[in-house]
Amino acid sequence: MGRLKAAARPVLLLAWKDLLLELRSKETVTTVPVFALLVLVIFNFALDLSAARAADLAPGVLWVAFAFAGVLALNRAFFAEKERGSLEGLLMLPVSRDTIYFGKLLGGLAFMLAVEAVLVPVFAVMLNIRILSWELALTVALATVGFATLATLFSALLVHTRSREALLPLLFFPVVAPVVIGAVQATTSAVQGAGAGRWLAFLALYDAIFLIICPWLFGHLLEE
């Protein structure tokens, strides 16, 4: 138990550092939620979100908004480090690659979950749907873990690449398509009161697979 706590400390510290920086600069804290809401508004113009059909379309709209906002929020995991000039410093820390990966992951995850916690009720109000079951909460959590796991890896992968802000969505969306499908289906089931169990299990499996693969790949990416 002691070893686990010792390993967790640097991870938590890294995550905390990132969150503090974001809170102080207020860059993503303000832009990301506003962007997600904007996606919702645009959908209102594109589709007919009047009360009758909202229940069918709402889960899809919700998750498109979160997926786009997620890319915006999560790409900063490493891109911001490079812009600040602190990337080399980060890599020279006497910690394992896994620690850096999970630290970044945790920071991005905490941020996204906080944003979603605020936005889900807002969406529910704007789309006139019933909300707030533990199934919905679990869906949001599992799907966000899936997004964050891959986005953190891709952020590291692309940090030295040209056109990285354009390439990230290009790489990210095809690979997280199953998360979007699972999240929308689970949300639909949760909102309708039907069983979302199958899709929740699917999301959990997806998360488990990539939580193993991504840190391993991350370690290899940062060799020079």
Partner 1 sequence: MERTGPSRAPWRASSGTATGARGWMWREGLLVLTGLMVLADLYLVFMWVPTDATLGIVQRIFYFHVPLAWVAFLAFFLVFLGSVIHLVRGSRRWDRLAQSAAEVGVLFTTLVLVTGAIWARPVWGVWWTWDPRLTTTLILWFIYAGYLMVRAYSPSPAQGARYAAALGIVGFVDVPIVYFSVQWWRAIHPAPVVGPASEPGSLAPAMLITLVFSLVTFTLFFVVLLKERLALKATEEALGEARELARRSTTDTRSSR
Name the site residues for partner 1 (rule: CB under 8 A).
150, 153, 157-158, 160-164, 167, 170-171, 173-175, 177-178, 181-182, 185, 198-199, 202, 206, 209-210, 213-214, 217, 220-221, 223
CB of 27 to partner 1, least distance (A): 25
Amino acid at 205: L
Residues 201, 161 contacting (CB under 8 angstroms): no
CB of 24 to partner 1, least distance (A): 31
Residue 20 structure tokens? 């503090």
Query: Which residue in the block uniquely carries the two structure tokens 């040209």?
Result: 162
Question: Which residue, 2 or 85, is less far from partner 1 as judged by CB?
Answer: 85
Determine which helix (DSSP H) or strand (DSSP E) holds 158, and give its type and residue range: helix 134-158
CB of 173 to partner 1, least distance (A): 8
CB of 171 to partner 1, least distance (A): 5
- Residues 33 and 85: their CA atoms lie apart, in Å, by 26
> Which candidate, 197, 217, 215, 195, places its Cα nearest to that of 205?
197
CB of 78 to partner 1, least distance (A): 13
CB of 174 to partner 1, least distance (A): 4
Question: Which residue, 117 or 173, is less far from partner 1 as judged by CB?
Answer: 173
Residue 35 structure tokens? 């962007």
Question: Which residue, 126 or 138, is less far from partner 1 as judged by CB?
Answer: 138
Q: What are phi and psi of 162, to 5 degrees?
A: -70, 155
Question: Which residue, 28 or 155, is less far from partner 1 as judged by CB?
Answer: 155
- Residues 180 and 171: their CA atoms lie apart, in Å, by 15
> Which candidate, 159, 10, 149, places its Cα nearest to that of 70?
149
Question: Which residue, 66 or 115, is less far from partner 1 as judged by CB?
Answer: 66
Question: Which residue, 114 or 171, is less far from partner 1 as judged by CB?
Answer: 171
